[in-house]
């Protein structure tokens, strides 16, 4: 019997949806290929009662899967790109970056749009990036950490723990829960996370056969956009401890990349944008990161690094 093609994945509902999508696409494009999913429990899945910004380290949702890939227990891994650290472990590369889903954030509430919620509304989100952008616009809102899978978060809203919660639109769509959305938040209001809405399918760098199989899932415009965003992230050495946002699109053969860094109180938000040749996507991201650092982001990052995030 032919050895199955093994895909490592987290065991959450959304992660399994994403891995099953990759499985069906690979089996459709490579008739005769049998794909098997190998669920892995990551550090981020084990620690649910602490904000991600306090857990520390990089690769909270990827390290254990990376280990399985490097020691040969799996042949590839499917990640939400926004969970992938800016530097991949030595020996691992992206075999495919498929076409991106909508990268925007979405508000789920009792029916009221975000600017119609009470000034002291209770908002749930696990993301520092979302928190600081909300604080910047609505300083009196009470923003609380919200962890768990999509259904858990929606249930807490229904139970009255929050007046609204913010989730990635892509995840809600993939799970068939888009009908729960009250308002899609435009990027002028809330810039997405680096890589939000995109998948990163990794494999061993030297595994030519797997790379060939995964290549059929690659979408060049998404790869170029995400590469620019990850260049920005690498220049800022971003992690879940730092409120960084960025999004790139391809327009008329050029990349337009927007970036944002904010302090933890949301009182200082530094934004910028850059455009250029998609063939220099990573360098464009680095250039924008350096520009933001020169305009005050460096001071913000140093302060966060020295004092940490509030508990």
Domains of the chain and any CATH numbers: 1-99+198-218 (3.40.190.10), 105-185 (3.40.190.10), 219-305 (3.30.160.40)
> Is 83 part of the annotated catalytic residue set?
yes
Given 66, 75, 83, 207, the catalytic residue:
83
Note the pTM of the prediction, 2 decimals: 0.91
Q: Could you please report the per-residue DSSP string of the chain?
A: -PPPEEEEE--SHHHHHHHHHHHHHHHHHSTT--EEEEE---HHHH--SS-HHHH-SS-TTTHHHHHHHHTTS-SEEEEEGGGS-SSPPTTEEEEE-PPPPP--EEEEESS--GGGS-TT-EEE-S-HHHHHHHHHH-TT-EEE---S-HHHHHHHHHTTS-SEEEEEHHHHHHTT-GGG-SEEE-TTTSPPPTTTT-EEEEEETT-HHHHHHHGGG--HHHHHHHHHHHHHHHHHT--TTS-EEEEEEEETTEEEEEEEEE-TTSS-EEEEEEEE-GGGHHHHHHHHHHHHIIIIIHHHHHHHHHH----
Per-residue pLDDT of the chain (311 residues; tens, 9 = 90+): 478 999 999 999 999 999 999 999 999 999 999 999 999 987 666 555 555 555 555 577 799 999 999 999 999 999 999 999 999 999 999 999 999 999 999 999 999 999 999 999 999 998 999 999 999 999 999 999 998 889 999 999 999 999 999 999 999 999 999 999 999 999 999 999 999 999 999 999 999 999 999 999 999 999 999 999 999 999 997 656 789 999 999 999 999 999 999 999 999 999 999 999 999 999 999 999 999 999 999 999 988 877 655 43
């Amino acid at each position: 019997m032919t050895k199955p093609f093994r895909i490592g994945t987290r065991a959450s509902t959304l992660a399994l949806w994403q891995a099953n999508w990759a499985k069906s696409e690979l089996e459709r494009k490579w008739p005769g290929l049998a794909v098997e999913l190998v669920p892995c429990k990551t550090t981020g899945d084990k620690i649910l009662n602490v904000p991600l910004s306090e857990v520390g380290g990089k690769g909270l949702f990827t390290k254990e899967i990376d280990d399985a890939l490097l020691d040969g227990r799996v042949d590839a891994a499917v990640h939400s790109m926004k969970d992938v650290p800016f530097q991949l472990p030595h020996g691992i590369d992206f075999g495919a970056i498929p076409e991106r889903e909508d990268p925007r954030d979405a508000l789920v509430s009792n029916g009221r749009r975000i600017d119609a919620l009470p000034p002291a509304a209770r908002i749930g989100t696990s993301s520092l990036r979302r928190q600081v952008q909300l604080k910047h616009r609505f300083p009196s809102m009470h923003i609380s950490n919200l962890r768990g899978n999509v259904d858990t978060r929606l249930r807490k809203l229904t139970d009255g723990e929050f007046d609204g919660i913010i989730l990635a639109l892509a995840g809600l769509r993939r799970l068939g829960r888009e009908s729960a959305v009250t308002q899609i938040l435009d990027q002028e209001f809330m810039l997405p996370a680096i890589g939000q809405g995109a998948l990163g399918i990794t494999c061993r760098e030297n595994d030519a056969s797997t790379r060939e199989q995964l290549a059929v899932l690659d979408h060049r415009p998404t790869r170029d956009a995400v590469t620019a965003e990850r260049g920005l992230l690498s220049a800022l050495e971003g992690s879940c401890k730092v409120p960084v946002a960025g999004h790139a699109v391809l327009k008329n053969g050029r990349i337009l990349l927007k970036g944002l860094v904010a302090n933890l109180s949301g009182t200082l938000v530094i934004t910028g944008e850059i455009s250029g040749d998609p063939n220099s996507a990573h360098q464009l991201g680095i250039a924008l990161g350096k520009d933001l650092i020169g305009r005050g982001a460096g001071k913000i990052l140093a302060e966060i690094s020295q004092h940490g995030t509030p508990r």
